Chain A
Amino acid sequence: DTAVSQTPKYLVTQMGNDKSIKCEQNLGHDTMYWYKQDSKKFLKIMFSYNNKELIINETVPNRFSPKSPDKAHLNLHINSLELGDSAVYFCASSQGQGFWGYTFGSGTRLTVV
């Protein structure tokens, strides 16, 4: 009955590979997000989707491509992985702009070697 679930929890891969992280929410929310948390724990917005439409696309390399097949899913595909992509990636969801708060998944720790 997990509200926001991400898979995988851990991902170790070599430089240059392509990988995907999946996210699903069962809260009936209409907005989903990807956040990146760096080694200093800073949480930075990457993308935001409302009703499957891209709303926010922060300054993120175009190697990162989000895809929202429906309101309950937001996946993140990363091409040509680099060492600097190593971080924890969090998926989150909210109703509308999130004035009642976002619900976060438990994160995907990506390590690029």
Chain B
Amino acid sequence: GQQLNQSPQSMFIQEGEDVSMNCTSSSIFNTWLWYKQDPGEGPVLLIALYKAGELTSNGRLTAQFGITRKDSFLNISASIPSDVGIYFCAGLNPNSGYALNFGKGTSLLVTP
């Protein structure tokens, strides 16, 4: 599968702070997805992006599809303790068939 580089690997922040994480790829994607995984659960879709330059929000979350189609970022504003979890970026390219490629995840810890 295609390599996705996700950073940072982990973040330890205080409640109320804003968070930013990003993902880059050596290949072009037609779709970028951001997932969150809580302990003991499967990843849950947060935001889906379909067009280069697209900026999409879901509550306190905002994600953008990079102009080059090789990168995406996710911002979380005013973090709260329940934001704790692992955030994954994922990319999809129709040429790669039926396989969503995942980044290695950003582990987020939020202290009250």
Contact = CB atoms under 8 A, between A and B. Distances in A.
A99 to B, nearest CB: 5
A43 interface: yes
Interface in A39-98: 40-45, 48, 50, 55-56, 58, 90, 92, 94, 97-98
Interface string B36-62: 010011111100101000000000000
A43 B104 CA distance: 7
Contacts of B42: 4, 90, 92, 104-107
A104 B98 contact: no
B30 A99 contact: yes
Given A98-B92, A99-B92, A55 B40 contact: no
Interface in B75-106: 86, 88, 92, 94, 97-102, 104-105
Given A42-B104, A99-B30, A99-B31, A106 B40 contact: yes
Q: Give the residue among B99, B101, B107 with the most A Cβ atoms within 10 A.
A: B99
Interface residues of B, number: 26
B33 interface: yes
Contacts of A58: 1, 99
Contact of A48 (B40, B44, B98, B107): B98
A101 interface: yes
A84 B37 CA distance: 23
A97 B41 contact: no
Contacts of B30: 99
Given A41-B37, A101-B33, 7 more contacts: A50-B98, A97-B92, A98-B92, A98-B98, A98-B100, A104-B42, A106-B40
Interface of A: 4, 31, 33, 40-45, 48, 50, 55-56, 58, 90, 92, 94, 97-107
